[in-house]
Every structure is written in C-alpha cells, then in structure tokens.
Structure 1
C-alpha cells in the first residue's frame, strides 16, 4: 500500500504480489522443524503436536497466510490484467476459495496444525476426537483442490498469452497435482480404515510435499508479471476538496 502526495492511501498491484510472496514464505515455515531435535520422519514431530510452541506458532502463521492469499487474490481481481481471460479469472477466484476455506478451517477447533491437512482432518473425525468439527475434512479437501485449480488455470492463461513462464508453472502444477493426489488418497485410506492408520499422519511427508508445491505456486503468483499488468493500476480514496 502506497501513500499519495495528497495524503491518501492507495492499493496497487505491488501489494498483491508482496502478499502472495509472503504467504509463500509462511507456507514454507514447516521447514523450521529441522532446528528441533526430532527428525523429518519422526511420528512425534513438533508439527504433529498442536500444543507445542512450534505447533501454535504454525497455526497462527497459516491463519495469517490464508488472509494474505485472499488479499492477493482480491487485488488480482481488482488490479490484474486489463482484459483478463477466462482462465485468469478462474485462477483468481480459485485462489480466493483456497484462502477462505483455509481460513475458516483454521478457526475451527481440532488437533490439526495445518488447516489444509486433509488426512489429519479425516483421522480426527473418524476417531471421534472431542471438539473436532465435521466440516474440517471437506474444507481441507476443497482447499487442496482449489489450489490445484488455481495453479492449473494460471498455467493455462500464461500458455494462451504466449509467455514462457507457463513451462515453470506447468511443472509446479504437475508437482502439486501429484502431491494433492497422494494427500487425498492418504485421507481416503484413513477414512476407510476407520482412522487406524499410521501415527504422525497430521503432517507426513506427503503433506510436506504438498506445502512445498503450494508455496511454489504462491511464489509464482507474486513473481510472474503478466497477470498483474494493468493500466491505471491504482485504487485510491477520493481526494478531499480544498
């Protein structure tokens, strides 16, 4: 957000790009677990414990990231390409859905540190853990699919526009698709086994992989320039009459 020479604040595309990049950084914060004494493959890692200091920090951070995603998508819709193609519009709205569902899920009670962890959400419900909302699994699934659709639609838009960035976006989308399938299959397995799955499913390697691909997608949203270009890219409050 910038300050104009008339004393009014205005939004421009840079705010949306920064919001997307910061959200990408936040979704990568799970990597800080390497500074804890437990390893990545541990079933009792800090990330699986919502009552740990690190777990509470991640929960708050991901709630903030969800808000930043909604902000970035909203500014993308308002300050994106001058004549956005259908695919770009689909990408922005899917990004909104991802942010909103992630935010709502993060506000619901439960033991899952990450609101997008579908496997943990399903396990919590089928095992009948107290205070867990039945809305969490569908919200986690919707968030996972919305992120994938947003990435795929952005890739398609950049391809139609003839931008070389579509190749990188396609690789990110492919990786996200693989990660999403693995996470959802894991969640389905937990459901079918009535929750008798492996311990530590709250954040296993599959969920870590999915977070990496989500972070890469958000990073691309912030750094790839084509879908942000627009003439008259400022939203400014009306000037006061002298």
Structure 2
C-alpha cells in the first residue's frame, strides 16, 4: 500500500518488494498441493479437481499473484535504478509480461488451475476440453519464457553492478531454464500424442519444479536490494 512520510501518500520501493515476495509465496503453494490428495487412492492432488476447495483457492490466489507481479514490475520500472540500465529495464518489462500473461490466462475458462501450466493447457486443447482455447497454451508459453528472460536479465544486471547476489540469481536462472525446458518438451510430447500417453508423474514433478523456480526468482527480485531505488535524502539499507 502507499506509504506516507508527509501529508501525501506515495508508492515506494517497499511496496514493490513486498508485492514480489507475496507473489513468490503464492506461486510456491503448488509444491504443497502434492501432499493433499482429494480422496483415497488419488495421487494427483487437488489440482486434478479444480472444483475442489483447494483448487478454487489456488485459482484465486494465482490470479492475485499475477496482479502483484504486474504491480511489482510497474514499481520497479517507475522507482528502480536512478540511471536507466538496459538489462534491468528488460528484466522489469519481462516480469510485467509474465504477470500480464498469467493474469490473462487465469481469466480464460478451462480446467487448469495454474494458468502458466503449459502442459495442462496443451492437453486441454488437444483433448477438446470444454472451454479450452488455443490462446491458453500460447499465453502459458509466453509467461514461461518471459519469466526466464526476466530472471536472466536481472542476473546479468546484478553481475554488471558487482553485486554478489548475482551468483544466487544465476543458480535460480539455471534451475528455471532446465525446468522450463523439461516442461515445454513434455508439453510438446503431449501435443504430438494428442493428449494420450502423457508422462504422468514426471510431468507433474516437472511442472511443480518449474513453479518453485519461478517463486524463487520472484523472491530474489523482492529481496535483492540493488535494483530498487534508495531514498533521496539518505542511503537507506533495505
């Protein structure tokens, strides 16, 4: 929410950092879902039934998280580094694209609770699931690639700035790249097989791994201080 040290409320970098951290927490919830079966003998968990209570909660939570991502990216662009830096700008814009694509996908009908789940959206289309459209896989792929570009650009910016956190960011980016590649390959296999014979457990684990790496990127974006603007009157440590 806007802060006010004077009579006029205003946004500052703390709002963007909090928005990114909260979004990271929400995106990590899918890792919890795997231990919440919807009934005896069912191993897919709540996401196998979007109508379940937890599935509906996740649907609303991810939509909110997408809005928070767009907010964080907007504040990063408006309140970020004093001097424009190309790679940081690329990172913020890519983050905004990720949030916008996630939000748009979450508003479309379909059975996929996680709108950025490329494999689920592809399978829904090829199987002719009611409400599924070809736009959903496109948005999912765009969101996946935008998140990866944002993480990579932020890593390179922090390295050029000499901030030691770039090493951690590089590890997160590498993990995200591997997870994204696996998910997209599995999604392509689902499409090629017309939805039959999907990889099952491997696919579910890959999707969760990818979402965890996205959550780690958002967490790092909120925690790492270098890309956020300092107060004008003093050098504050955030």
TM-score normalised according to structure 2 size: 0.91
For 1:68 and 1:222, how far apart are their aligned partners in 2? 12
Aligned twin of 1:195:
195
For 1:81 and 1:175, how far apart are their aligned partners in 2? 27
Aligned twin of 1:3:
4
Aligned twin of 2:144:
144
For 2:212 and 2:35, how far apart are their aligned partners in 1? 18
Deviations 1:203-231 (A, max 9, x none): 70011000110000000000000000345
Aligned twin of 2:89:
89
Which residues of structure 2 form unaligned runs of 5+?
Answer: 234-238
Residue 36 of structure 1: how far off its partner (Å) = 2.4
Aligned twin of 2:64:
64
After TM superposition, the structure 1 = structure 2 runs for residues 19-38 of structure 1, keeping only pairs within 5 Å, are 19-33=19-33, 36-37=36-37
Any idea what SS the aligned residue of 1:2 has? coil
- Tell me: CA distance 1:174–1:50, structure 2 relative to 1, closer, same or farther (3 Å): same
Any idea what SS the aligned residue of 1:143 has? helix
For 1:42 and 1:178, how far apart are their aligned partners in 2? 28
Q: Across the two proteins, how many residue pairs are aligned to each other?
A: 231
Any idea what SS the aligned residue of 2:89 has? helix
After TM superposition, the structure 1 = structure 2 runs for residues 164-179 of structure 1, keeping only pairs within 5 Å, are 164-179=164-179
RMSD, aligned CA: 2.1
Aligned twin of 1:238:
none
Deviations 1:123-172 (A, max 9, x none): 00011111112100000000000000000000000011111111000000
- Tell me: CA distance 1:42–1:165, structure 2 relative to 1, closer, same or farther (3 Å): farther
Aligned twin of 1:52:
52
For 2:173 and 2:81, how far apart are their aligned partners in 1? 21
**Contact conserved, 2:92 with 2:150, CA < 8 A, in 1?**
yes
Residue 43 of structure 1: how far off its partner (Å) = 4.7
Aligned twin of 1:239:
none
For 1:150 and 1:232, how far apart are their aligned partners in 2? 27
Any idea what SS the aligned residue of 1:9 has? coil
For 2:42 and 2:80, how far apart are their aligned partners in 1? 43
For 2:65 and 2:113, how far apart are their aligned partners in 1? 13
Aligned twin of 1:108:
108
For 1:188 and 1:206, how far apart are their aligned partners in 2? 14
Deviations 1:17-52 (A, max 9, x none): 00000000000112332552469x965321221111
TM-score normalised according to structure 1 size: 0.90
For 2:131 and 2:9, how far apart are their aligned partners in 1? 43
For 1:45 and 1:191, how far apart are their aligned partners in 2? 23
For 1:5 and 1:167, how far apart are their aligned partners in 2? 38
Any idea what SS the aligned residue of 1:226 has? coil
For 1:183 and 1:163, how far apart are their aligned partners in 2? 31
